[in-house]
Amino acid sequence: MIRRNRILRTSPAIRAMVAETILTPSDFIAPLFITEGENVREEIASMPGYYRHSLDNTIKEARELWSMGIKSVLLFIKCADELKDNKGTEAVNPDGLMQRAIKGIKQAIPEMVVMTDVALDPYSSYGHDGIVKDQEIVNDVTVEVLARMSVSHAQAGADIVAPSDMMDGRILAIRQALEANNFDKVGIMAYSAKYASCFYGPFRDALDSAPGFGDKKTYQMDYANSREAIKETLMDVEEGADIVMVKPALAYLDIMRMIKDRVTVPVSAYHVSGEYAMVKAAAKMGWLNEEKAVLEILTSIKRAGADLIATYFAKDAVKLLQS
């Protein structure tokens, strides 16, 4: 034998030397679920170990994340039922929970990169990501609201808005609206390749945002397709996206790799709620070692091309990396 592949696997030291993919805290974006109230900390039933926090506790959580080296949070709010409508009224309320949360976090930790979810579903009486008319999700009217919503988040101090709705043309409309309002330092992280996935189930429990009728297949992508992901992503880059995203992550690593090979902007992955729940459930049954699974999964996502990973395991992963 003249080639012995096992030589480079001999010891932990040599394995560390030749490891190609190293996770670090600044890879992670921590999603946060925010609810009204004071000192509220509600565990999400289908996401054991993950919580909806009131704003005061959210700020504590954000401080802890920052102290651990995590640079970014992605904000989601749980909107009260009585504030939901079919117009996105609460989504653009300058005193809404989202807008107050952005202000509160930026005030407490000015350096933290605050990203915000831009989509109507948490605010929609129909649980859809857009304005509904005759059982249809109307594209262009929705895009106008998303642009106003983005400006409202920017006014509150958001660093990056993250449209997760999959309407056509929204990135350009948002960029133009930000420019028109002099927010030339506010970026856009586009959920570019977002699939209609069963893995969002626990998230919809967390925000009480499940669609009231039908599904999201007329706007989110069909998981049978890959070339469509390239089309969507290249268009978002042309329209002004600073970061593009593939979502979910683990079942879509082929998409991640294709996108990474085709764009020059940073690519982010969303390791979604259902992916978190699967690991938690198997670990609870004693069928998987949670800590090992977390590091293997997150490393695989980065190896596939992700520059950034939004994950509910962000804090756990940093602790594991440090130990």
List, by residue number, the catalytic residues: 194, 247
Please identify, among the stretches 63-71, 198-206, 253-261, 284-292, the one whose residues bind ligand PBG according to the rule CB under 6 A. 198-206
By rule CB under 6 A, what count of residues binds ligand PBG?
12
Q: Which residue's CB is nearer to ligand PBG, number 200 or number 313?
A: 200
Does 50 engage in binding with ligand PBG (CB under 6 A)?
no
Does 90 engage in binding with ligand PBG (CB under 6 A)?
no
Q: Tell the smallest beta-carbon distance from residue 164 to ligand PBG (Å).
A: 4
Give me the DSSP letters along 98-126.
Answer: HHHHHHHHHHH-TTSEEEEEE-SGGGBTT
Q: Per-residue x/- mask for ligand PBG, residues 115 to 154, rule CB under 6 A?
A: --x-x-x-------x-------------------------
Q: Tell the smallest beta-carbon distance from residue 197 to ligand PBG (Å).
A: 8
Does 164 engage in binding with ligand PBG (CB under 6 A)?
yes
Question: In the range 237-276, which residues lie near ligand PBG by CB under 6 A?
Answer: 272-273
**How far is Cα 256 from Cα 248, in angstroms, rounded to an integer?**
10
Please identify, among the stretches 14-22, 96-104, 168-176, 200-208, the one whose residues bind ligand PBG according to the rule CB under 6 A. 200-208
Q: Per-residue x/- mask for ligand PBG, residues 215 to 244, rule CB under 6 A?
A: -x----------------------------
Does 203 engage in binding with ligand PBG (CB under 6 A)?
yes
Q: Which residue's CB is nearer to ligand PBG, number 204 or number 262?
A: 204
Question: In the range 98-117, which residues lie near ligand PBG by CB under 6 A?
Answer: 117
Q: Tell the smallest beta-carbon distance from residue 96 to ligand PBG (Å).
A: 16
**Residues of each annotated binding site for Mg(2+):** 232
Q: Which residue's CB is nearer to ligand PBG, number 97 or number 272?
A: 272
Q: Tell the smallest beta-carbon distance from residue 156 to ligand PBG (Å).
A: 19
Q: Kindly report the three-state secondary structure assignment for every residue of the chain.
A: CCCCHHHHHCCHHHHHHHCCCCCCHHHEEEEEEEECCCCCEEEECCEEEEEEEEHHHHHHHHHHHHHCCCCEEEEEECCCHHHCECCCCHHHCCCCHHHHHHHHHHHHCCCCEEEEEECCHHHECCCCCCEEECCEEEHHHHHHHHHHHHHHHHHHCCCEEEECCCCCCHHHHHHHHHHHCCCCCCEEEEEEEEECCHHHHHHHHHHCCCCCCCCCCCCCECCCCCHHHHHHHHHHHHHCCCEEEEECCHHHHHHHHHHHCCCCCCEEEEECHHHHHHHHHHHHCCCCCHHHHHHHHHHHHHHCCCCEEEECCHHHHHHHHHC
Per CB under 6 A, residues contacting ligand PBG are: 117, 119, 121, 129, 164-165, 200, 203-204, 216, 272-273
